[in-house]
Amino acid sequence: MFPLNAVLFPGVSVPLHVFEDRYRALVHHLLRVDDPTERVFGSVGIREGYEVGDHGAQSLYRVGCKVLLTEVEAQADGSFDVVAVGLDRIELERLDTSGPFPVGHVVDRPEVPSPVGEPVLEAARATFSAYRAALAGIRADPYSGSLPRDPSYLSWTLAAVAPLPMPERQSLLEAEDAGERLILVTDLLRSELRAMNVIPSLPATEVARTRWSPN
């Protein structure tokens, strides 16, 4: 289990720099798994505390994500630069830290499939397009290419790229279905746009990080 000061989403890739002993031990453990498709770990967000140190994470969110290790680059100092991609949601029941790396006891938390109305999809796409336009000339475009057509993929994509504080990102992860998530992310982006109209020089919340460390 990798507790992070970040929220990971299904279908979204994330780079991580792994340098702390317990997480290096977990990477070594995963690399001993013969089938690369089985090199899976879990991640939950840190509600209170820090990624680094024996007493860093004081409180964890319960809903997180199952993650697949896809790329590993070992460094001379024993650390790793890795890339992982989110799979499915999980719920953490308890965390065992007695071994060489944290072990989470989890249950699956699958998303409830449900139809999403076209007005919800159109509102989400239009609001994100307006947000991208408002950012032009201020900072880099948060997303490149065309948005996914599938409602579930669209909801996870917008959740991942929206520049929101961690509690709001966690609420997007915990939304029960794609429709609920799209309505929520649309409302959050509209609030962000209203804040930018008051303070136009920067987005109201600057939380995007180009590289995350699970330490």
Query: Within this chain, do residues 75 and 129 fall inside the same structural domain, yes or no?
Result: no
The verdict on residue 146 lying in a domain is yes
Query: Within this chain, do residues 182 and 104 fall inside the same structural domain, yes or no?
Result: no
d(Cα 215, Cα 51) in Å, to the nearest integer? 5
Backbone angles phi, psi at 180, to 5 degrees: -60, -40
Q: For the chain, give percent helix, strand, coil, nearest 5.
A: 35, 30, 40
DSSP-derived secondary structure letter, 28: H
Record the pTM: 0.84
d(Cα 56, Cα 73) in Å, to the nearest integer? 26
Query: Within this chain, do residues 13 and 99 fall inside the same structural domain, yes or no?
Result: yes
Query: Within this chain, do residues 174 and 87 fall inside the same structural domain, yes or no?
Result: no
The verdict on residue 207 lying in a domain is no
Query: Within this chain, do residues 88 and 139 fall inside the same structural domain, yes or no?
Result: no
- CB under 8 Å to 13, separation ≥6 — which residues? 70, 83, 84, 85, 86
Predicted local confidence at residue 27, as pLDDT: 97
Predicted local confidence at residue 208, as pLDDT: 38
The verdict on residue 81 lying in a domain is yes
The verdict on residue 215 lying in a domain is no
Report the CATH number that the domain containing residue 83 is assigned in CATH. 2.30.130.40
Query: Within this chain, do residues 8 and 102 fall inside the same structural domain, yes or no?
Result: yes
Query: Within this chain, do residues 76 and 13 fall inside the same structural domain, yes or no?
Result: yes
**Domain end position, chosen among 66, 85, 108:** 108
Query: Within this chain, do residues 93 and 48 fall inside the same structural domain, yes or no?
Result: yes
d(Cα 137, Cα 140) in Å, to the nearest integer? 8
Residue with tokens 């746009």: 193
Query: Within this chain, do residues 9 and 84 fall inside the same structural domain, yes or no?
Result: yes
The verdict on residue 206 lying in a domain is no
Q: Is 68 helix (H, G, I), strand (E, B) or coil?
A: strand
Residues spanned by the domain of 29: 2-108
The verdict on residue 74 lying in a domain is yes
What is the domain count for the chain?
A: 2
Residue with tokens 């992070």: 4
Query: Within this chain, do residues 16 and 91 fall inside the same structural domain, yes or no?
Result: yes
Angle 49-52-56 (CA atoms, 0-180°, nearest 5)?
Answer: 30
The verdict on residue 204 lying in a domain is no
Predicted local confidence at residue 203, as pLDDT: 54
The verdict on residue 203 lying in a domain is no
Query: Within this chain, do residues 96 and 123 fall inside the same structural domain, yes or no?
Result: no
**Domain end position, chosen among 53, 87, 108:** 108
Query: Within this chain, do residues 101 and 151 fall inside the same structural domain, yes or no?
Result: no
Per-residue pLDDT for the chain (215 aa), expressed as one digit of tens each?
Answer: 999 989 999 999 999 999 999 999 999 999 999 999 999 999 999 987 544 445 445 689 999 999 999 999 999 999 999 999 999 999 999 999 999 999 999 999 998 888 999 999 999 999 999 988 888 767 777 787 789 999 999 999 999 988 888 999 999 999 999 999 999 999 999 998 888 777 655 554 443 333 334 44
Report the CATH number that the domain containing residue 151 is assigned in CATH. 1.20.58
